[in-house]
Structure formats: C-alpha cells, structure tokens
C-alpha cells in the first residue's frame, strides 16, 4: 500500500547517507590532494617551477586512485546503503541555521568523481606536453588543480551552501584559466565576459539557496529532500527556476550561453577539461541533484526542457557556421549539454540518461578538444579550419582518435554517443513529440557540422599556411588521446543491462512503466537515418567541393545569423549592457547630487551647529554657572511636567 | 537621654577602601618626615603598594561573594547602612584601582620634563615670577600629588558604594577636592591650569550646593537618609511628590555635573584642557566610572520604584549629551579639548545604557543586562581614554605638550607606531568593529533596544556617524596632512608611560576580539543590594 502510494505521487528518493567508516580517509583525500597541490604550487611560487607540473599531475592521479578505491568499495555495498557522508565541521551557524561542511558520496557523485579525476588526470598528463614551452606552466597546473579541487567540492558537498562554494570555486578557476594568456586582450576580455555572465547565474543560485533556506530552514540535501513534499508547489517552482538560471549560467544554456564560445581563448586543455567535460556540466549535476525539488515542480521542469531544446538547436546551428575548430566544438558542447539539460527536465525518466550522456560526452568531447589541441600544436596554433585540410596523413594518431570521437558524437551505431543520445531522444519522444522531433533534428545537424569539421580538417586538399609543417604530437599528448578514444568507443558499455539506470535509481528515482509511442528500435533507426542525411549533406556541400581559404561573404541570412551566434552579444549589449550603463550613469548622478548632497549638507549642518554652539563655550565661569542653573531647571521641569 | 551608638564597621569588607585611604595618610606623613630627595621614591612606593594591596583585597572580597545566593553572601550593607559591598561595588573598586595604578604610572613619569614630575615645582609661586623660575631651576617637585591621587581614588571607591545620601555626599567631596587641587598643578601653562582648577572648583561647589539641597528635599519627603528608607517611602507614600521630584532633580543635576552630561558639561573641555594631562587621563577614566555607578545605584536602588517617572528626563539629557558632545567636537582644533568633548559624547552613550535597565529592585542576575552593558562600556571607555590621553603627553614641542591639532600634522611619518596606536584608540572610541568600543556600543544599544528605547538607539547610531567624523579627522591630519617642520616631536618616555599605553591598547583590542569572558564575569557580578 505504502509502496504504491509513493509511486503514485512519484516521490523522489530521500538523501539518507550513512557514516563513511573506512572510506573517510579516501573521501577526504580525493578532495584534499588537488587542493594541496594547488596550495603548494601557488604558495611555493617560483621554487616549484621545475617540478610544478609533476606535482600537479601527481595530485590529480592520486585523487583518481582515491576515487577508484571509493568506487569499488561502493560497488561492494548493497544498493540501498551506498551513500556515505563525512561531516567535517560546522562551517557556520546563525540562529537556528547551521551549515555543516560535509562530503556526500553516493552513486551520482561517484560517477562524477571518476569523470573529473579520470579525465582530469589525462588532461593533466596531456598538458605536460601541451604547455611544455610556456614559462608559466607551473601556474597553469596550480590553476588546474584548483579547478579539480573546486569541482570535486561541487559534486561532493552535502549541502547547497557547500555546493555553492565549489560552484564559485570552479567559476574562479575557469576565469583564471580562460585568461591564462593574459597578454592577449581577447583572452582578458573573454575571461571577464565569462565571469560577468556567470554572475547572473550565480545570483540565481544564491537566491535559490536563500529561498530553500527560507522555505525549509535548512540547506542540507538530506533534510531538504525529506521536507520537499511539504512545501507548496509555487515555491518549489520558484526554487526550480532559480536553480535553472544558475544552471544556464554555468552550463552555457540559452539565454546565458554567450560566454562559452569566447572562453575558447583559454589553452586547449582547459577547453577540454572545463569547457567540455566537467565544469559546464555542473548545471546538469545541479538539476539532477535537486531532483527532489524538480520532481515536485512540473512547471520548472517544462522550463528546463524548453531551455535545453532551444540550446541544443542553437548550439548545433552555431557549430555549422563557424570556421574556428574550437568554436565549432564549443557550439557542439552547448548543443550536447542542451541534450542533457533537456533530458534532466524530463524528470525521473531522463535523469539517468542525462548523466549517461554527460559521461560519454565527457569522454568524446574531451577527446576531440585534445585532438583539436594536437592539431593546433602541429600547425603553429592556427585554429581556422580553412587553413587545414588533409591532415590525416601528417598526424595519424590524432586523426584516428579524433575519428573515434567523431563517430561517437554523431551517434554511429555501437559507439558511446549512439547509446546515450538515442536514449535521450527516445525519452523525449515519449514525453513530448515536438521536443522529440527537435532532438532528432539536432542529431541530424550534429552529423552535418561534425562531418564538415572532419572533412575540412583531415580530408580535402591541404590549405596550410606557408611556414606550417604539420607533425604528430609527442607521446605525452597522444597517449591520453588514445585512452579517451577508447572510452569514447566503449562508453556505451555502461548501458548494458540498463546498468547505469539501475545504479542511479537510489538517487534519482526509479522509472516505472515507460511506454514510448513508437518502439525503441524504430527510434534508433530513424535517428541513424537522419544522421546519415546530415553526414551526406556535409559530404556533398563540403567534401565534394574545394574549400575556399577565405570564408565566403555572400551567404544566406541563416548562416549570417549562426556565424554571429544569433546576435546574442549584440542583443545583450543593446538590451542589457547599454541600458545598464545608462542606469549606472543615472545612479551615479543621483549619488553625486542627492546622496552626496544630503551627506555633505548634513556635514555642513553639523559644522554650522558646531560653530554656533562652540560660541556658548566662552570660558566665563558665570555663563557656565548659568548653564548649570538652566540644566537644573530643565531636569526639574522634565520631572515635574511629566509627573504632576 | 539618647546615646550615640558605637559604629559597627565590618573592617574586612571595606578593607580595600581603608587601605587606599590609609596609604594616603601615610603618604602625607612621609611628605612631612622624609627629606626631599627620598620623597619621590617613597611616595611612589607607598602609593603602588597601597593600590596594589587594595586591589588584591578587593578581588579577595569579591571571591567570597555569591551573587545567586541570598544575603549576606551576595553582598552586605556595612558601616551602619552607609556602604553596600556587593558585586557592582567590588567590580567598580577593582576598575578604579586599576585606573589608579595606571594613573600612578603616568603621574610618576619623570623622563618627559627632564627628570622632574609633570607637576608644578612650587605651586605657591606665582606664574611668571622669579620665585617660579627659582623653583624650577632648583628642580623642585610636589610629591604631594601621590597622596592626593590616593585620596581621590579612595573617594571614588566610596562614591559608588554609598547607600546613604550623606555618605554619598562625603564621598563626592572626598574625591572632588583632591582633583580640584591636582588640576591646578601643571608645570607648563600654569595660568591655564590654575584657571581650570578654579573653574572646576567653583562650578563643582555650585553643583554640590544643588546636590545637598536635593538631599535635604528628598530627606524631607522620605524622612530617611538611607537608600532603603527612601525606596520604602517612594514605593509606599501617596503624598504629593513635589518634594521628591524636586529633590531627585537637584541630586541628579549634581551627579550629571560629575559625569559631564549636557547641559552640565561646560567645565569639561576647559578643565580637561587646562589640567595636567596625567590628571585629565585619571579624571576622565576614574570619575566617569565612579560617578556613573553611583548614579546607577541612586536611581535604581533609591528611586527604582518611580523609574517610569524619571526616565523621560534621562532620555532628554542622553540625547542632548550625545548630540552636543559629538557636534561640538567636530569644530575643535585642540586634541585635548576634542577628547573632552568625546568624553561628553560617551557619557551620553552610557546614559543610553542606563535606560536599558528596566528595574533593579528584584531582578535576578540573568536580567541585569543593562547593568552589564553599562559596566562593560565604562571598562572599555576607561582603558581607551587613559591610553589616549597618555599618548597626548608624548607629543611635545619646546613649550611642553603640543596639543593643537595642527601640530599633529604628519605625525604618522614622524612616529608611525605612536600615531598608529592613537588612530586605533580613536577608532575604538568611534566604535569600529574589532575594538572594544564596538562591543561596548553594541551591548549598550542592545540593552536599550530590549528595554524598548529604540528611538534613543536610533539617535545614538546616527550620532555615532557624526562622531566618526571628528575621530577620523585626527587620523587624516596625522597620516595624510603634509607635515611642516614645526618643532614637534614624539618624546621617548620611560617604561612607565609606555606600559600604560600598551595596557590600554591591549585591553581595547582584547575586549574587541574576545569580549566574552568580561561579559560573562559582569553577568555574574550580580545585583545592587539595598
């Protein structure tokens, strides 16, 4: 009876972790190692220049080992007692509100831990080669470690406030790394843009947390998940929308997507780690982690789905029009995260697939970003695909690994992306036909732009700059590529026997009786067919023709629109920045005139009063005595008038 | 025929006070017996031993109290009903004794005046005469200042303990008379110093007259001199209360004169400026503590039953005191005068705390927030003002102390440490966080808020902003004004003076960072007994 009730009301699972026991030390170490690495490298300064990259990489690898230990221990536990928690200390308390700094390790954080530390370690290794000639390599590794620590804090926190700490930490690390080459004005501008736009999202998160606190009187996942069903739906919807705003900022979703393409100014390993595999997926994590809120707020979930759908189409369109290889990949990242956000908006049926796609995307997109970095490494840091062509022979390893990522992302049957995207499309079709169709169109466009990228880079005729002699990258860079390529191919194994769905069920809830309108096989076939159409289109439009070295100017309005990222920057500038500036000017004038006027006026009034009253202090005892008498009269009057 | 009963005095309980007064008497004797050369050391030693043993004794008596128990463990009225030895009394005693010890150190400073005290060499010599020059060239000094200091301390101890109007009056005079004298004993700028002393004396006498007249009216109403008797009469009588209010008003006028509340404050700037700075420091710290606790005891123990009737009057005085003190301070150009006005403004803030006490008669220790707040504020203010005035003694030019603010320009470059410490003390007076001034203001405001005196707190907070202006102005002058070569330098004092500055600053910092222990202690100090 109770069981069926809970199914009817689709009550989300309560977060009820157990003590960590033996796992306390690894759980703390997983976070402490990269944090210590960052501290050593930043505080040690130049003394650590020689071996800084080794310290940083060792910290990341150590963290990965801890994550593995934790994971295997977790697999050894029964499904319902896998969540563990370590309470470190009371961070702060005010009135009845207490924030415990605690680490929550459950199935969801476990997967994130493996992704962050695993891909993170590979990227650390790769960066040893990629940044070999940079004077500030040690600082780069310090920031990378800082990022890993903050990201782990984000996914391990047992409390919304702890999550916020990590959230801001990754924001800081992202800011520092986008502008790592601070001598480039474009990089400095890009980091500032990313920071400012993320502020908007962060305000959403802090307001959301405040609303959670006001509603439930607590911010810990455990207690909020327990109390969530007691709150009224309006409030839950408001919380959900605020958290969605936060997710939009961090995950570059519409309408806060504009920073991600500019963020490609950062070194490529940064783009791979932060702006593809991990940080930008924090929004998905936030929504899935807050499933106990979204499950009870269907309106907020509709908004999530809408945002995801818009972004997945928008990102795909941008990917089609860009010539900068990293920007194509960034547009693709936007689009793929759009899929995840959309899936997480579908509720219980989508959470697990959102996380599944997040993992596979983490593999293949990191793979392709690092591959792009390898290409740039061999072509004097040129990013324009119109200057590539026929690179498959010059850099065979990069080509082959990149191809694995390519096949994964377009959803070639058998590759990881096929499984994960297919599941999302299936779930979307089951919930809403329009959304499902949009997801299928997105898949077709993905096939188009990724094929275009492959062709322009590795096939067609060479269009190299004069002094460019493409060459394969060193082992330290190609080995991570090979590992990631293998993961891109094999990531789909997670779905065998619905493993990931069952694995995550204790956290995100179980799917009951899901009947898609069309059979799953048909969905897969349709998806593969439309992708094939996209690929073929690219072959005819790009592969069969000569690619001009200069981007053509006479293009359709759609291309112009996509090239300019749908004029979102111009829109932001005209609609938000300019009026904002005007308002600030107005406020400044108001501050100068009215506020300062009042303060200065008050000051002169005080000064005037002071001048008048100091005259009373004339130095004559007789006047002082008179004032004494006056005072006595005043006191007597005050007593007698009041009382008699 | 009536016989006069032999007074019963519990010597153990009043020992701290008797030790101080006894040491003062010994000091006077020593002055008469010892040759001139030995007097300085002997006097300093007598005073030091006297004050220190009194302090130890006071702590000893305090230890035997238990504020939560019933009488007599929580305090006793001794000496024929004229002195109450309870928690607040003993805390005040300890405080006054510590201030006395610190004052003794700056009194004993001889480095700054080339080997002699900062007090007049021969007070009887007219300023500017041959006799004065001779006294100064012979290196004469008045070591009588030490017994005078002890008498003043003794009076300040008796004042807050008095539970009898006559004892209160006697105590008032016992501590006032030595202060009048001390004010006139400056070695430099003697005319100004003598003028200050005379003004203080005349106005003090004038206010004493009000005070005594008030006593007689209250006696006329209550038929008793003791607080207990008055409280009984006030609570019980249904007669016309004109006599009572008249008497109360005049007594309060006399006490408000001592704490320097507006409009009884006019003497403060003139006297603080003219008096030797060591005396000013002691007066500012000690008098304020003694007089405020005495005022508290009188208002709540004797007149607590008509609390609601006299509270509006204190409201008016508190607001006037804060406003006038702070506003006029803005226009000051002399550091000592400015600190004097600051002390007036502080008196206003303490009055705010006084209104935070709802009723004293029957409250348990846990309800005595207002008392805790006032005592805490007095402690913090005492230490910071002592240290601040002591710093003033170090900034000198050829004519002695250079107290004009323009002489302080650029002090931050000449002596960053001293200027930094002074700036810290000023910020503490302004009530910035991390200093005891902040905690003090906070507890006082909180007490007043909880007693419902929020309009007063609003005024107080606004006035704190005004007060910030003049404190910061000194800091600006010290650190950001161009220093001219005006012959002003920072004198290097003996360890005596440095110790005082160090202790004052350290306490100010410590009570800002960790006020908990003192607040705990104060909340256990207990109630005023009757």
What does the pLDDT average to over A77-103? 83
The answer to whether B328 contacts A610, with C-beta atoms less than 8 Å apart, is yes
**pLDDT (tens digit per residue) in B498-511:** 999 999 999 999 99
User: Is the pLDDT score of B443 beyond 70?
Assistant: yes
Q: Does A613 touch chain B (CB under 8 A)?
A: yes
Token pair for residue A23?
């796992």
- Collect all residues of chain B within an 8 Å Cβ-Cβ radius of residue A643: 241, 245, 306, 309
Q: Give the domain extent around A389.
A: 10-563
- What pLDDT score does B70 carry? 63
CB B310 within 8 A of CB B451: no
- What pLDDT score does A4 carry? 35
Q: Does A2 touch chain B (CB under 8 A)?
A: no
The answer to whether A631 contacts B264, with C-beta atoms less than 8 Å apart, is yes
User: Is the pLDDT score of A338 beyond 50?
Assistant: yes
Same domain assignment for residues A127 and A29: yes
Cis peptide before B263 (omega within 30 of 0): yes
- Percent of chain A at pLDDT > 70 equals 97
Q: Does B249 touch chain A (CB under 8 A)?
A: yes
Largest CA distance in chain A: 110
Same domain assignment for residues A555 and A606: no
Q: Does B206 touch chain A (CB under 8 A)?
A: yes
Task: Report the length, in residues, of chain B.
Answer: 530
Task: Report the length, in residues, of chain A.
Answer: 644
Q: Which of B352, B353, B165, B196 is nearest to B279 (CA)?
A: B196
The answer to whether B252 contacts A625, with C-beta atoms less than 8 Å apart, is no
Token pair for residue B239?
């007669």
Instruction: Quote the CA–CA distance of B167 and B171 in Å, as a whole number.
Output: 6
Q: For residue B313, what is the nearest residue in chain A, using CA coordinates?
A: A638
Angle at CA of residue A216, ends A212 and A217, nearest 5°: 95
Name the H helices within B108-144. Answer: 130-137
In chain B, residues 264-303 whose CB comes closer than 8 Å to chain A:
264, 266-267, 269-270
CA of B323 vs chain A CAs: smallest distance (Å): 10
pLDDT band for A458, please (50, 70, 90 cuts): confident
Q: Does B15 touch chain A (CB under 8 A)?
A: no
Long-range pairs of B516-520 with CB within 8 A, sequence gap ≥ 24: B518/B376, B518/B379, B519/B372, B519/B376, B519/B443
- What pLDDT score does A514 carry? 59
Q: For residue B273, what is the nearest residue in chain A, using CA coordinates?
A: A619
- The string of DSSP letters for B479-506 reads HHSPPP--S-EE----HHHHHHHHHHHH
Q: Is residue B153 part of a domain?
A: yes
Phi, psi at residue A13, to the nearest 5°? -65, 145
Sheet holding A84-94, edge to edge: A18-19, A84-94, A97-105
User: Is the pLDDT score of B27 beyond 70?
Assistant: yes
**pLDDT (tens digit per residue) in B416-428:** 999 999 999 999 9
Token pair for residue B226?
């003791």
Same domain assignment for residues A340 and A438: yes
Instruction: Quote the CA–CA distance of A272 and A119 in Å, as a whole number.
Output: 9
Q: Does A570 touch chain B (CB under 8 A)?
A: no
- What pLDDT score does A92 carry? 82
Strands in B82-224 per DSSP E = 83-86
- What pLDDT score does A515 carry? 62
Instruction: Quote the CA–CA distance of A392 and A153 in Å, as a whole number.
Output: 40
Q: Does B496 touch chain A (CB under 8 A)?
A: no
First to last CA, chain B: 31
CB B271 within 8 A of CB B202: no
Number of domains in chain A: 2
Same domain assignment for residues A392 and A499: yes
pLDDT band for B359, please (50, 70, 90 cuts): low
**pLDDT (tens digit per residue) in A150-191:** 999 999 998 999 999 999 999 999 999 998 988 888 888 888
Instruction: Quote the CA–CA distance of B303 and B307 in Å, as a whole number.
Output: 7
Provide CB contacts within 8 A for A557, sequence distance 6+. Answer: none
Return the minimum-mean-pLDDT range out of A550-564, B188-202, B307-321.
A550-564
pLDDT band for B362, please (50, 70, 90 cuts): very low
| Best residue of A621, A630, A633, A640 to probe chain B, by most B CBs closer than 10 Å | A621
Instruction: Quote the CA–CA distance of A631 and B313 in Å, as a whole number.
Output: 11
Provide CB contacts within 8 A for B478, sequence distance 6+. Answer: B408, B409, B410, B411, B412, B419, B422, B423
Query: Number of Cβ pairs closer than 8 Å across A and B?
Result: 99
Number of domains in chain B: 1
The answer to whether A617 contacts B328, with C-beta atoms less than 8 Å apart, is yes
The answer to whether A625 contacts B199, with C-beta atoms less than 8 Å apart, is no
CB atoms within 10 A of CB B79: 23
User: Is the pLDDT score of A8 beyond 50?
Assistant: no
The answer to whether A642 contacts B332, with C-beta atoms less than 8 Å apart, is no
The answer to whether B312 contacts A614, with C-beta atoms less than 8 Å apart, is no
pLDDT band for A608, please (50, 70, 90 cuts): confident
Nearest to A643 among B241, B266, B329 (CB): B241
Same domain assignment for residues A584 and A531: no
Same domain assignment for residues A582 and A492: no
Residue with tokens 């026929």: A390
Name the H helices within A76-220. Answer: 107-130, 137-156, 160-178, 185-216
Average pLDDT over chain B, rounded to whole? 89
CB A131 within 8 A of CB A144: no
What does the pLDDT average to over A588-608? 83
- What pLDDT score does B68 carry? 67
Same domain assignment for residues A575 and A482: no
Q: Does A623 touch chain B (CB under 8 A)?
A: yes
Q: For residue B338, what is the nearest residue in chain A, using CA coordinates?
A: A614
CB atoms within 10 A of CB A546: 10
Phi, psi at residue A93, to the nearest 5°? -140, 145
- What pLDDT score does A618 carry? 81
Residue with tokens 């001293």: B418
Q: For residue A616, what is the nearest residue in chain B, using CA coordinates?
A: B266
What does the pLDDT average to over B240-245? 87
- What pLDDT score does A11 carry? 61
- What pLDDT score does B1 carry? 55
Q: Is residue B129 part of a domain?
A: yes
Same domain assignment for residues A61 and A186: yes
CA of A571 vs chain B CAs: smallest distance (Å): 44
- Write the CA distances from A505 to A2, A77, A157, A361, integer angstroms: 19, 15, 20, 21
Q: Is residue A1 part of a domain?
A: no
Q: For residue A640, what is the nearest residue in chain B, using CA coordinates?
A: B245
Token pair for residue A248?
């939009």
**pLDDT (tens digit per residue) in A94-140:** 778 888 888 888 888 999 999 999 999 999 998 888 888 888 888 99
Q: Which residue has the higher pLDDT, B95 or A578?
A: B95
- What pLDDT score does B203 carry? 94
| Best residue of A612, A638, A640 to probe chain B, by most B CBs closer than 10 Å | A638
Q: Does A610 touch chain B (CB under 8 A)?
A: yes
Same domain assignment for residues A601 and A505: no
The answer to whether A606 contacts B266, with C-beta atoms less than 8 Å apart, is no
CB B423 within 8 A of CB B478: yes
Q: Give the domain extent around B121.
A: 11-523
Domain boundary among A544, A563, A582: A563
- Collect all residues of chain B within an 8 Å Cβ-Cβ radius of residue A639: 245-246, 248-249, 309-310, 313
Q: For residue B213, what is the nearest residue in chain A, using CA coordinates?
A: A632
CB A224 within 8 A of CB A289: no
- Full 3-state SS string of A263-326: HHHCCHHHHHHHHHHCHHHHHHHHHHHCHHHHCCCHHHHHHHHHHHHHHHHHHHHHHHHCCEHH
Helices (H) and strands (E) in chain A, counts: 28, 3
The answer to whether B199 contacts A630, with C-beta atoms less than 8 Å apart, is no
- Collect all residues of chain B within an 8 Å Cβ-Cβ radius of residue A622: none
Q: For residue A642, what is the nearest residue in chain B, using CA coordinates?
A: B309
- Percent of chain A at pLDDT > 90 equals 22
What does the pLDDT average to over B189-204? 92
**pLDDT (tens digit per residue) in A389-448:** 888 888 888 899 989 999 999 888 888 888 888 888 888 888 888 888 899 999 999 989
Phi, psi at residue B226, to the nearest 5°? -85, 150
- Percent of chain B at pLDDT > 70 equals 96
Domain boundary among A504, A529, A563: A563
The answer to whether A628 contacts B253, with C-beta atoms less than 8 Å apart, is yes
Domain boundary among A514, A542, A563: A563
The answer to whether B203 contacts A617, with C-beta atoms less than 8 Å apart, is no
Provide CB contacts within 8 A for B270, sequence distance 6+. Answer: A617, A619, B195, B196, B199
ipTM of the complex in this document? 0.89
| Best residue of B214, B266, B311, B472 to probe chain A, by most A CBs closer than 10 Å | B266
Same domain assignment for residues A559 and A596: no
pLDDT band for A230, please (50, 70, 90 cuts): confident
- Write the CA distances from B22 to A189, B11, B49, B52, integer angstroms: 79, 13, 11, 13
Q: Is residue A172 part of a domain?
A: yes
The answer to whether A617 contacts B266, with C-beta atoms less than 8 Å apart, is yes
- Percent of chain B at pLDDT > 90 equals 60
Q: Is residue B156 part of a domain?
A: yes
Same domain assignment for residues A331 and A417: yes
In chain B, residues 45-104 whose CB comes closer than 8 Å to chain A:
none
pLDDT band for A5, please (50, 70, 90 cuts): very low
pLDDT band for A3, please (50, 70, 90 cuts): very low
DSSP A548: P
- Collect all residues of chain A within an 8 Å Cβ-Cβ radius of residue B266: 616-617, 623-624, 627-628
Sheet holding B395-397, edge to edge: B400-401, B395-397, B489-490
Q: Which of B17, B29, B86, B89 is nearest to B53 (CA)?
A: B17
- What pLDDT score does A311 carry? 92
Provide CB contacts within 8 A for A578, sequence distance 6+. Answer: none
Same domain assignment for residues A406 and A375: yes
Q: How many CA atoms lie within 13 A of B444 on its CB side?
A: 32
The answer to whether B269 contacts A640, with C-beta atoms less than 8 Å apart, is no
Instruction: Quote the CA–CA distance of B246 and B252 in Å, as a whole number.
Output: 10
Q: Is residue A22 part of a domain?
A: yes
User: Is the pLDDT score of A517 beyond 70?
Assistant: no
CB B459 within 8 A of CB B323: yes
């Amino acid at each position: 009876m109770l069981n069926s009730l809970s199914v009817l009301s689709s009550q989300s699972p309560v977060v009820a972790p157990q003590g960590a026991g033996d796992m306390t030390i690894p759980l703390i170490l997983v976070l402490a190692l990269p944090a210590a690495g960052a501290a050593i490298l930043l505080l040690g300064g130049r003394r650590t220049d020689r071996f800084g990259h080794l310290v940083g990489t060792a910290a990341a690898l150590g963290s990965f080992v801890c994550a593995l230990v934790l994971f295997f221990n977790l697999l050894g536990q029964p499904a319902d007692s896998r969540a563990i928690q370590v309470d470190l200390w009371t961070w702060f308390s005010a009135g009845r509100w207490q924030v415990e700094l605690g680490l929550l390790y459950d199935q969801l954080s476990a997967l994130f831990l493996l992704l962050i530390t695993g891909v993170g370690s590979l990227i650390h290794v790769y960066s040893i080669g990629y940044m070999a000639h940079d004077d500030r390599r040690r600082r780069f590794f310090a920031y990378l470690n800082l990022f890993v620590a903050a990201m782990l804090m984000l996914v391990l926190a047992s409390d919304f406030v702890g999550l916020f700490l990590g959230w801001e930490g990754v924001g800081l690390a992202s800011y520092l790394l986008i502008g790592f080459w601070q001598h480039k004005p474009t990089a400095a501008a890009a980091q500032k843009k990313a920071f400012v736009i993320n502020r908007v999202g962060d305000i959403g998160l802090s307001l959301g947390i405040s609303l959670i606190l006001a509603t439930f009187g607590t911010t810990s996942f455990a207690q909020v998940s327990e109390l969530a069903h007691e709150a009224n739906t309006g409030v839950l919807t408001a919380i959900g929308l605020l958290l969605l705003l936060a997710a939009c900022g961090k995950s570059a979703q519409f309408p806060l997507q504009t920073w991600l393409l500019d963020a490609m100014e950062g070194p490529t390993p940064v783009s791979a780690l932060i702006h593809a595999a991990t940080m930008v997926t924090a929004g998905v994590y936030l929504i899935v982690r807050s499933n106990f809120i979204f499950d009870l707020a269907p309106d907020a979930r509709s908004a999530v789905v809408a945002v995801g759908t818009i972004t997945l189409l928008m990102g795909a369109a941008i990917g089609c029009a860009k010539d900068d290889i990293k920007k194509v990949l960034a547009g693709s990242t936007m689009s793929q995260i759009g899929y995840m956000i959309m899936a997480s908006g579908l509720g219980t049926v989508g959470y697990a697939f959102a996380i599944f796609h997040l993992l596979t995307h983490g593999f293949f997109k990191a793979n392709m970003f690092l591959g792009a970095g390898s290409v740039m490494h061999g072509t004097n840091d040129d990013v324009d695909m119109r200057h590539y062509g026929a690179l498959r022979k010059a850099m065979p390893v990069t080509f082959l690994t990149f191809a694995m990522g390519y096949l994964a992302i377009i959803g070639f049957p058998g590759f990881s992306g096929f499984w994960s995207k297919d599941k999302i499309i299936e779930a979307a079709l089951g919930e809403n036909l329009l959304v499902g169709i949009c997801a299928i169109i997105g898949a077709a466009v993905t096939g188009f732009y990724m094929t275009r990228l492959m062709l322009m880079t590795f096939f067609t005729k060479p269009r190299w700059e004069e002094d460019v002699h493409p060459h394969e990258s060193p082992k330290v860079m190609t080995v991570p590529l090979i590992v990631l390529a293998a993961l891109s191919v094999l990531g789909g194994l997670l779905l065998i026997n619905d493993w990931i769905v069952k694995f995550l069920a204790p956290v995100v809830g179980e799917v009951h009786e899901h009947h898609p309108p069309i059979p799953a096989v048909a969905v897969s076939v349709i998806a593969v067919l439309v992708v094939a159409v996209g690929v073929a289109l690219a072959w005819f439009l790009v592969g069969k023709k000569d690619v001009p070295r200069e981007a053509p100017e006479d293009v359709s309005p759609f291309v112009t629109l996509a090239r300019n990222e749908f004029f979102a920057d111009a829109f932001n500038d005209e609609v938000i920045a300019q009026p904002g500036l005007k308002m600030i000017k107005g406020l400044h004038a108001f501050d100068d005139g009215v506020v300062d006027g009042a303060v200065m006026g008050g000051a002169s009034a005080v000064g005037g009063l002071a001048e008048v009253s100091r005259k009373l202090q004339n130095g004559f005892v007789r006047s002082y005595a008179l004032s004494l008498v006056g005072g006595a009269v005043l006191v007597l009057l005050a007593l007698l008038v009041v009382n008699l | 025929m009536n016989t006069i009963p032999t007074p019963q005095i519990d010597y153990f309980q009043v020992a701290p006070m008797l030790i101080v007064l006894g040491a003062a008497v010994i000091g006077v004797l020593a002055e008469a017996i010892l040759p001139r050369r030995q007097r300085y050391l002997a006097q300093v030693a007598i005073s030091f031993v006297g004050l220190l043993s009194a302090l130890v004794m006071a702590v000893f008596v305090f230890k035997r109290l238990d504020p939560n128990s019933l009488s007599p463990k929580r305090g006793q009225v001794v000496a024929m009903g004229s002195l109450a030895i309870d928690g607040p009394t003993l805390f005040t005693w300890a405080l006054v004794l510590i201030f006395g010890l610190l004052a003794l150190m700056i009194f004993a400073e001889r480095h700054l005046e080339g080997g002699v005290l900062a007090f007049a060499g021969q007070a009887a010599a007219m300023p500017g005469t041959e006799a004065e020059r001779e006294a100064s060239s012979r290196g004469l000094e008045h070591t009588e200042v030490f017994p005078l200091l002890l008498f003043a301390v003794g009076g300040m101890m008796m004042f807050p303990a008095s539970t009898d109007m006559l004892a209160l009056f006697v105590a008032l005079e016992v501590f006032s008379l030595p202060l009048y004298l001390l004010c006139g004993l400056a070695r430099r700028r003697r005319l100004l110093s003598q003028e200050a002393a005379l003004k203080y004396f005349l106005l003090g006498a004038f206010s004493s007259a009000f005070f005594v007249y008030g006593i007689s009216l209250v006696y006329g109403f209550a038929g008793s001199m003791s607080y207990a008797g008055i409280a009984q009469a006030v609570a019980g009588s249904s007669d016309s209360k004109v006599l009572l209010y008249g008497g109360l008003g005049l007594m309060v006028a006399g006490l408000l004169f001592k704490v320097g509340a507006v409009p009884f404050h006019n003497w403060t700037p003139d006297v603080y400026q003219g008096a030797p700075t060591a005396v000013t420091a002691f007066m500012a710290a000690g008098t304020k503590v003694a007089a405020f606790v005495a005022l508290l005891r009188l208002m709540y123990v004797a007149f607590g039953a008509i609390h609601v009737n006299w509270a509006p009057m204190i409201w008016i005085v508190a607001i006037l005191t804060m406003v006038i003190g702070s506003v006029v301070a803005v226009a000051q150009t002399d550091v000592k005068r400015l600190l004097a006005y600051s002390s007036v403004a502080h008196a206003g803030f303490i009055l705010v705390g006084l209104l935070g006490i709802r009723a004293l008669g029957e409250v348990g220790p846990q309800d005595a927030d207002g008392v805790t707040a006032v005592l805490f504020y007095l402690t913090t203010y005492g230490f910071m003002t002592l240290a601040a005035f002591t710093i003033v003694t170090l900034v000198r030019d050829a004519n002695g102390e250079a107290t004009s603010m323009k002489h302080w320009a650029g002090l931050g470059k000449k002596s960053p440490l001293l200027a930094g410490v002074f700036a810290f003390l000023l910020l503490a007076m302004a009530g910035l966080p991390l200093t005891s001034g902040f905690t003090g203001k906070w507890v006082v405001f909180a007490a007043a808020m909880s007693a419902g005196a929020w309009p007063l707190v609003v005024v107080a907070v606004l006035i704190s902003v005004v007060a910030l202006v003049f404190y910061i102005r000194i800091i600006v002058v010290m650190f950001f004004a161009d220093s001219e070569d005006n012959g002003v330098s920072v004198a290097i004092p003996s360890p005596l003076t440095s110790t005082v500055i160090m202790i004052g600053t350290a306490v100010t910092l410590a009570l800002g960072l960790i006020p908990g222990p003192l607040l705990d202690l104060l909340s256990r100090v207990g109630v005023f007994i009757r």
